[in-house]
């Protein structure tokens, strides 16, 4: 059995105070348990506390970020770690902030010539008021907060009344909401690690679309590895995913979400800079198909963080 790939003290950062706290804790515990069982010097850290002081007190030498949602995926904790001089997994400050903001990332994707579904951005200011929303595309509409992940606050609206209610609900998670054209197609999610495509999975929710309930309720979604799509279409989707990863300047491990319409055209939805890391999450499923067990995937992510920052393992 191989030994640990680094002797540095690893801090697994998870939890926090966002709407994704519980999901983050599950990811963090899975990573912590894998590293502990693998013989690593590792400590679990809940970002809801005084994180900076805890990092110093515990002597953390590299941070494994499993902190989904605000603070973790918007560049905040990355900025703190940069100032502290602690290497960390995943993308840097700017790429994290761009990927977390659906409006900003869509603009970046379009700038790089990548297809995204038609969309409209609404805010709390005079650009939106109940009953006066005029999306330039027909229903149904996908409504989502601009700065949340794990499908938190996402809903599907078929009528203007439902659209108004969905927008109100999404505004509870922040001041801006994305109303997106619904594309009836196959949902493909591509895993990226160290600047290369690991593979992809097709998700088939029992409901109309892949919402929070479908993601986290056992039996609500079927997963196809590899995706049941034409080889050329899958290759194109993987190429687009890698282009999106690069367009935002992402690093480390990401999961890129796309939808392929009936004509075989992939549309880019978003890039997740801190994908779920439970042993049943999508990135580990994709990595397993590529030959990585869970611990090996975690080790690759840690080594990538050290190598990119010029720190010897």
**62 has pLDDT over 50:** yes
Structure tokens at 256: 């890129």
User: Does one domain contain both 109 and 248?
Assistant: yes
**157 has pLDDT over 70:** yes
Is 103 a residue of the active site? no
**237 has pLDDT over 90:** yes
Query: Residue 84: which pLDDT band, with cuts at 50, 70 and 90?
Result: very high
Catalytic choice (9, 165, 194, 216): 216
Query: What is the per-residue pLDDT for 273?
Result: 96
Q: Is residue 287 part of a domain?
A: no
Is 150 a residue of the active site? yes
- Tell me the average pLDDT of the chain: 90
The span from the CA of 141 to the CA of 82, in Å, is 39
Q: Is residue 216 part of a domain?
A: yes
Is 257 a residue of the active site? yes
Place of tokens 């194109």: 236
Residue that wins the pLDDT comparison between 46 and 17: 46
Catalytic choice (270, 299, 300, 304): 270
User: Does one domain contain both 137 and 231?
Assistant: no
Place of tokens 């494994």: 64
**Residue 22's domain spans which residues?**
10-90
User: Does one domain contain both 67 and 176?
Assistant: no
Is 307 a residue of the active site? no
User: Does one domain contain both 106 and 222?
Assistant: yes
**148 has pLDDT over 80:** no
Is 105 a residue of the active site? no
Is 270 a residue of the active site? yes
Bin 71: left if φ > 0, else alpha if -120 < ψ < 50, else beta: left
Query: What is the per-residue pLDDT for 174?
Result: 72
User: Does one domain contain both 109 and 239?
Assistant: yes
The span from the CA of 35 to the CA of 3, in Å, is 11
User: Does one domain contain both 79 and 29?
Assistant: yes
- Using only C-alpha atoms, the chain has a radius of gyration, in whole angstroms, of 19
The alpha carbon of 53 is separated from its chain's Cα centroid by a whole number of angstroms, namely 27
**Residue of 283, 302, 308 lying closest to 11 (CA atoms):** 302
pLDDT in tens, 86-139: 999 999 999 999 999 999 999 999 999 999 999 998 875 545 555 567 788 999
């Amino acid at each position: 059995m191989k030994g640990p790939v680094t002797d540095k003290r690893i801090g697994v950062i998870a939890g926090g105070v966002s709407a994704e706290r519980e999901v983050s804790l599950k990811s963090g515990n899975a990573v912590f348990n894998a590293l502990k069982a693998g013989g690593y010097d590792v400590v679990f850290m809940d970002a809801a506390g005084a994180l900076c002081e805890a990092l110093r007190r515990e002597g953390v030498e590299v941070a494994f970020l499993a902190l989904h949602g605000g603070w973790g995926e918007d560049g905040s904790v990355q900025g703190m770690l940069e100032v502290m001089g602690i290497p960390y997994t995943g993308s840097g400050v700017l790429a994290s902030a761009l990927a977390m903001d659906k409006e900003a990332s869509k603009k970046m994707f379009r700038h790089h010539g990548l297809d995204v579904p038609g969309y409209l951005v609404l805010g709390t200011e005079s650009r939106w008021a109940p009953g006066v929303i005029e999306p330039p595309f027909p229903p149904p509409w996908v409504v989502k907060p601009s700065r949340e992940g794990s499908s938190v606050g996402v809903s599907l609206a078929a009528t203007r009344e439902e659209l108004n209610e969905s927008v109100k609900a999404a505004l509870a998670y922040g001041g801006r909401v994305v109303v997106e054209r619904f594309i009836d197609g196959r949902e493909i999610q591509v895993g990226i690690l160290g600047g290369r495509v690991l593979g992809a999975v097709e998700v088939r929710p029992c409901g109309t679309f892949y919402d929070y309930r479908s993601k986290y309720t056992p039996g609500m979604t079927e997963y196809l590895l590899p995706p049941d799509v034409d080889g050329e279409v899958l290759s194109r989707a993987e190429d687009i995913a890698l282009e999106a990863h690069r367009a935002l300047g992402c690093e480390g491990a990401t999961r890129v979400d796309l939808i392929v319409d009936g004509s075989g055209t992939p549309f880019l939805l978003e890039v997740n800079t801190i994908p779920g890391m439970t042993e049943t999450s999508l990135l580990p499923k994709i990595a397993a198909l590529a030959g990585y067990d869970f611990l090996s995937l975690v080790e690759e992510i840690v080594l990538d963080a050290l190598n990119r920052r010029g720190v010897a393992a």
